[in-house]
Copies of this chain bind each other. A is one copy, B any other.
Amino acid sequence: NLLESPEGLKLGGERRKITILTSDLRGFTATSERLQPEEVVKILNFYLECMADVITQYQGTIDEFMGDGILVLFGAPTQRKDDAERAVACAVAMQLAMEKVNTKMQEWGLLPLAMGIGINTGVVVVGNIGSEKRTKYGIVGNQVNLTYRIEGYTIGGQILISESTLKEVGSIAMVIGQKQVKPQGVKEPITIYQIGGISDPYNLVLPSKKEELKTLPQPIS
The interface of chain A, by Cβ under 8 A from chain B, is 12-15, 28-30, 32-33, 37-38, 40-42, 44-45, 48-49, 51-53, 62, 64-68, 125-136, 138-142, 144-145
Contact = CB atoms under 8 A, between A and B. Distances in A.
A141 B42 contact: no
A64 B66 contact: yes
Q: How many copies does the complex hold?
A: 2
A141 B48 contact: no
Given A32-B125, A52-B134, A37 B65 contact: no
A65 B138 contact: yes
Nearest to A42: B12
B37 A13 contact: yes
Contacts of A13: 37-38, 40-42
A62 B12 contact: no
Which of A29, A51, A52 has the most chain B CB atoms closer than 10 A to its own CB?
A29
Given A52-B131, A67-B129, A129-B67, A32 B140 contact: yes
A127 B37 contact: yes
A140 B40 contact: yes
B65 A140 contact: no
Contacts of A136: 65
Nearest to A127: B41
Q: Which of A52, A131, A134, A142: most chain B CB closer than 10 A? A: A131
B29 A15 contact: no
B134 A62 contact: yes
